[in-house]
Amino acid sequence: MSKEGIAKVLAKYVPENCVELCSSWIIEKNIHLRITRGRASKYGDYKPLENGEGHHISVNHDLNPYSFLITFTHEVAHLHCFTRYKHRHDPHGKEWKHEFRLLLTDFIRKNIFPSDIEKALLNYVRNPAASSCNDQQLHRVLKKYDDPGDNPVIHLEELASGTEFSIHQSRSGLIFRKGEKRRTRFHCIEIKSKRAYLVNGLAEVIVHNT
C-alpha cells in the first residue's frame, strides 16, 4: 500500500496532526500494521517477522484516537528495542522504557494531545508501565475521549459490592462477584471456581444481576 493509502486508513484511528508521522513510521520501519477487533486482554502487540521481512504490530480498532496513538507508539518502542538489542532485553525493562519515553516526549512537544492527557502523560513517562491501564490517572483521562456509542461503558469501580459481572470483550465466559477494594484493584470471586482475582477498578464490565 502507498504512503497515501496508509495515511487514509490511519486518519480514521489517530489524531489528524500525527497521521503523516505514523505513516512514515510504517513505511520506513517496514511495519505490517493489523487493526484488530477489541481485545480485553491487550490493546496491541508486537513481534518481528521471520527472515528480516519487517515487523508485525496490531492495535485494537475500538480505541479512541489518543489511546490508539499511545498503544501504537508503545509497540513501536518494542520494535526499536528489538532492532537494537534483539532478544537481549526485558520486554518492558529499562531499554523499552527509554525508547517509549523518547517517542512519547516527542509527541508531547508537538502538542498532539489535549492538555489533560498531556499532563497525565508527563507524569506517566517518568516510569512507563507495561500498559497504560496500569496508570490510573492516565487511563481515567484517556477514557474521557471514548465514544460511548449506544452502550455507555460501565467501569467496575461504579458497581456496588456484590454485583456480578463479566469483563467486556473477554471471551472466557467467566462471571465474577465484586468484593472489597485493595488499592487500585478490587478483590473479586469467580462464581464457578470460587477463585479470587484482583481486577482493575477501571475495567469495562457487563453487569449480570441488578
Residues 99-140 pLDDT 10s = 999 999 999 999 999 999 999 999 999 888 777 667 888 988
pLDDT number for residue 209: 67
Whole-Å CA distances, 194 to 19, 40, 189: 47, 21, 6
Query: What's the CATH number of domain 156-207, 2.30.30, 2.60.40, 1.10.3470, 3.40.50?
Result: 2.30.30
C-alpha closest to that of 55 among 85, 22, 80, 21: 80
pLDDT number for residue 150: 53
- In this prediction, residues 188-193 reach a mean pLDDT of 95
Whether 10 contacts 23, CB under 8 Å: yes
Q: How far is 38 from 48, CA to CA, in rounded Å?
A: 22
Owner of C-alpha cell 516526549: 105
Q: Which three cell numbers stand for residue 129?
A: 508501565
Domain ranges within the chain, ordered by starting residue = 3-143, 156-207
Could you read off the pLDDT of 1-46 as tens digits, one per residue? 888 999 999 999 999 999 999 999 999 999 999 999 988 778 999 9
Report DSSP state, residue 88: S
Q: How far is 142 from 155, CA to CA, in rounded Å?
A: 14
Backbone angles phi, psi at 120, to 5 degrees: -65, -40
The enclosing H or E element of 142 equals: helix 136-143
**pLDDT band, very low/low/confident/very high, at 177 (cuts 50, 70, 90):** very high
pLDDT number for residue 42: 87
> pTM for the whole thing?
0.81
